[in-house]
Structure 1
Amino acid sequence: MRRLFSVITSRHIVLAAIKVSLIVGTLLNLINQFDALLGEQEWRLGMAVLNYLVPYLVSSYSGAVQIIKKE
C-alpha cells in the first residue's frame, strides 16, 4: 500500500493523470452539463468536480499499478 501511494504521488503519474483528467473531464462536463452551458439549467459544481476527479483517480491508479507490475 505504501508503494502504491508513493508511485501515485510521483511527478510522472500526477502529470499524466492531470492531462487525462483535463481532457476527459472537459468532455464529460460538455456532455453532462450541456443544458447549463446553454443557460437552461443551473451549473452543478459537484458534478463538475466529479467529472474531473474520477478520471484523475482512475488514471493515476491504473498508471501506478502498471509501474508496480513492471518492477
Structure 2
Amino acid sequence: MPASRYCDDMRSVGAIVLGIVGVFVTLCGLLFALQGFGVVGGSPMSNTTTWSILGPIILLVGVGIALTGWRVGRASRR
C-alpha cells in the first residue's frame, strides 16, 4: 500500500472518530444544559447555575469538534 493511500485512510478514520466524539460531547453538553436549566430533573445538577453556564459551553465545544472532523473528512476525500 502506498504511503499516501495509508495517510488518506488514517485521515478518514480520524475524521470519523472526531465526528463521533464531537456528537457525543455535544449531546452531553445539551443534557448538562437542560439539567442546569431545570428541564431535566432528578440530578444534583438540576437547577444549578454552574451547569446552566457549562452545558452550553460544552455543547459548543462538541459542535466544534464535530465540524473539525467533518472538514478533515471532506479534505481527505478530495
TM-score normalised by structure 2 residue count? 0.44
Higher relative contact order at CA 8 Å, sep ≥6: structure 1 or structure 2? 1
Larger Rg computed on CA atoms: 2
TM-score normalised by structure 1 residue count? 0.48
